[in-house]
Amino acid sequence: MNKKKKYFICANGCIRRKIEAEKIAIWLQKNGLINSDNIQEADIILISTCGYDGRNQDDSIAIINNITQHFHFEQNNREIIVLGCFPHMNNEYHKNNSSKYYYISPNNISEVQNILEKQSIPFSEISEPYKISNIKSYSDVLKIKSNDKFHNASTRIQSNINYQNFKESSGIIKIASGCLSNCSYCAIKPVMGNLRSKPISKIIEEILSCNDEKLTFTAEDTGAYGIDKGCTLLDLFIQVNTLKLKKEIALTGLNPTFLNIYSSGLIDLLNNTSMNFKHIVIPIQSFSDNILRKMNRKYSSSGVINFFHKVNEKNANIQLHGHILVGFPGETMTDVNINIEQIKELNYVNFKIFKYFSHKKTISYKMKNKLSKNEINSRFNYILESVG
């Protein structure tokens, strides 16, 4: 009797890459493999990586190095599969280490079918999962040590905890991949490509199949949803509202670039809907229009501030969240103080502060007036101390 193969899968980074890893885990199980809690027993080891910033890159390198050193397939008859964004973002590391693993990009996730010679269920027949249940964390493999202990921080800790707890207990609905923007600091666009929105009918089908009372809508660029298909995010939620499901909703990654197209309609929908919006996340990145122009973000800070105010006036029970990127090339202390002033004014919004990280594949990598890591850390701490 043939012994059933086992797999081990661990992941780091955003919920979208974890959902892809979960889909692969489900597919492997459907084809007879057993999910192992012990990496030592695994015939196939899958590592989902993240290259968003310095800390996530360090963690990805540490986990890949550790596993390929101890479980190289040529020595132990194991297959090692690397998923996620990191190898695509760091060509030098990938070039030097690609002989040790097989890489599958998030844009070509169906290539996972190449790892099984025999399969009764094709990968295309696996629906996108709503929950993460088969994925281990990096800490299940090794103790990750980072030089950057505080790579981001929140201005309203309890609000951030509420949001994280909501995501973990909700069904995940991925409504699109890729984006329409070309932000000068972003290394994700070269990995994920242009916007590819799911049809509204497909999203409705997924919502009806999900039994969770909470739903988190996510994408690389949630705010641009539907523009490639001649519709908008508002059109999607108008259709979702007709279902009368009375579910709690989190809306993440609402890039403000296209917000002006449908913001008034979305605001009106917030209080006249069967959906109970609990969290809305808007990655504004900076309240300085000077920095937004350098970032190639096609909106003004005043429009986002106005949206925050109107949502809060309409429904103060919705927890609003924003992202601020500190240390962008050319940033002055005037820009920093503009951020501080607005964070204080918008005291009902939870802002997560991130440190700028210079990716080689980005426009900002070649910009002048870059700040040192020490200066970025100093400004990061200054913002937290000023708004705390």
d(CA 44, CA 104): 14
pLDDT (mean) for 249-268: 92
Q: Strand 152-154 and strand 349-355: pairing?
A: antiparallel
Q: To the nearest whole number, what is the mean pLDDT of the chain?
A: 91
Burial of 296 (0-12, 13-18, 19+ CB in 10 A): middle
Asked if pLDDT for residue 84 goes beyond 80, the answer is: yes
| pLDDT attached to residue 70 | 81
d(CA 261, CA 284): 16
| pLDDT attached to residue 243 | 92
Q: Within a 10 A sphere around the Cβ of 127, how many other Cβ atoms?
A: 10
Model pLDDT for residues 92-105, shown as the tens digit of each residue: 999 999 999 999 99
pLDDT (mean) for 268-288: 91
| pLDDT attached to residue 143 | 62
SS3 content of the chain, % helix, strand, coil (to 5): 45, 20, 35
| pLDDT attached to residue 371 | 97
pLDDT (mean) for 7-18: 93
> Tokens 């094709």 sit at which residue?
122
Residue 282 near residue 304, CB atoms below 8 Å: yes
Three-state secondary structure of 78-125: CEEEEEECHHHHCHHHHHHHHHHCEECCHHHHHHHHHHCCCCCCCHHH
d(CA 357, CA 361): 12
Residue 344's H or E segment, with its range, is helix 333-345
Model pLDDT for residues 209-222, shown as the tens digit of each residue: 999 999 999 999 99
Model pLDDT for residues 171-209, shown as the tens digit of each residue: 999 999 999 999 999 999 999 999 999 999 999 999 999
| pLDDT attached to residue 7 | 95
Domain ranges in the chain are 6-140, 152-387
| pLDDT attached to residue 291 | 98
Task: Report the CATH fold assignment for 152-387.
Answer: pyruvate-formate lyase- activating enzyme (3.80.30)
**Phi, psi (degrees; rounded to nearest 5) at 47:** -125, 115
pLDDT (mean) for 353-361: 93
| pLDDT attached to residue 76 | 59
d(CA 219, CA 156): 24
Q: First-to-last CA distance in the chain?
A: 64
Q: Strand 196-197 and strand 176-177: pairing?
A: antiparallel
The band of 151, judged by pLDDT with boundaries at 50, 70 and 90, is: low
DSSP string, 223-252: GGTTGGGT--HHHHHHHHHTT----EEEE-
| pLDDT attached to residue 77 | 67
CATH node for 6-140: 3.40.50.12160
Model pLDDT for residues 13-66, shown as the tens digit of each residue: 899 999 999 999 999 999 999 999 989 899 999 999 999 888 899 999 999 999
pTM of the predicted model as reported, rounded to 2 decimal places: 0.91
Model pLDDT for residues 119-144, shown as the tens digit of each residue: 899 999 999 999 999 999 998 887 65
What tokens appear for 3 in the block?
């012994």
- Closest by alpha carbon to 213, among 263, 164, 278? 278
DSSP string, 276-303: EEEEEEEEEE-S-HHHHHHHT--S-HHH
Asked if pLDDT for residue 74 goes beyond 90, the answer is: no
What tokens appear for 25 in the block?
């885990």
Does 6-140 match 152-387 in CATH topology? no
